[in-house]
Amino acid sequence: MIEPHDALRLLNGGPVALLTTRFRNETNVMPVIWTVSLSRRPPLIGVAMNQSRHTHDMVRFAEEFALNFPGRDLLNHTHYFGAVSGADVGKLELAKLPTFKASKISAPLIEHCLAYVECSLQEALRLGDHTLFVGRVLVVQAEEEAFDETWRLEEREYRPLHYLGVDRYAVLGERLQAELRTTEEGAIELAEAVEERERREEEEAREAERRKREGEEA
């Protein structure tokens, strides 16, 4: 039996971000998975944060935060940052991860992440036991190997980390290219797409066979 609140786990899977913040001389970091795009113009993103998090009031008062997107190298750090609270320990200093200065805000950015988003706080909406922090995106940076217009997913170490729940994480395996083919009436042209795919697969198999034979002859 799956409990109603476990429905949230079915929605999990977007990349994990490490949210960094700085308020008065204190810095902190926590992983977040409840993130959402809210507006393109102006660029707004949302983070739903439980009111019990130490980071919660830091973001409320600092009125800014950064999202750092880790890859698989930072898997254990990510889990650690989500298991202990900045109310008890200075996680960022104890983790000994190098940080660097953000361009527009005072929260530090974590080195070796794949992409970074700097935000100022536009709104804070209380929803149940969480607050939806609405961030106005000020600056975005990403490693070329990780992101072109979308996540590239080519090299293993440049794939973002996803969170499934509990202590389980994942990385996406492959970027797929969709093709949009419609009939004049606007229906999806499924039959042709399937036939074409089969033809392409046959051609690819023949080509692979030819290359194998050429290799053997040489």
Ligand X SMILES: Cc1cc2nc3c(=O)[nH]c(=O)nc-3n(C[C@H](O)[C@H](O)[C@H](O)COP(=O)(O)O)c2cc1C
Residues that bind ligand X in the complex, under the rule CB under 6 A: 16, 28, 30-34, 48-50, 53-55, 78-79, 82, 84-87, 163
Least Cβ distance, residue 125 to ligand X (angstroms): 14
> Please, which residue, 147 or 163, has the CB nearer to ligand X?
163
> Please, which residue, 166 or 191, has the CB nearer to ligand X?
166
Least Cβ distance, residue 126 to ligand X (angstroms): 13
Q: CA distances (Å), 135 to each of 36, 64, 103, 191, in order? A: 10, 8, 16, 44
Q: Tell me the residue number closest to ligand X, measured at CB.
A: 82
Least Cβ distance, residue 113 to ligand X (angstroms): 14
Q: CA distances (Å), 193 to each of 11, 102, 196, 204, in order? A: 30, 47, 5, 16
205 φ/ψ angles, rounded to the nearest 5 degrees: -65, -40
> Please, which residue, 11 or 187, has the CB nearer to ligand X?
11
SS3 of residue 167 by DSSP: coil
Nearest-angstrom CA–CA distance, 74 and 97: 10
Give burial (CB, 10 Å; 0-12/13-18/19+) of 2. Answer: exposed
> Please, which residue, 81 or 151, has the CB nearer to ligand X?
81
Least Cβ distance, residue 164 to ligand X (angstroms): 9
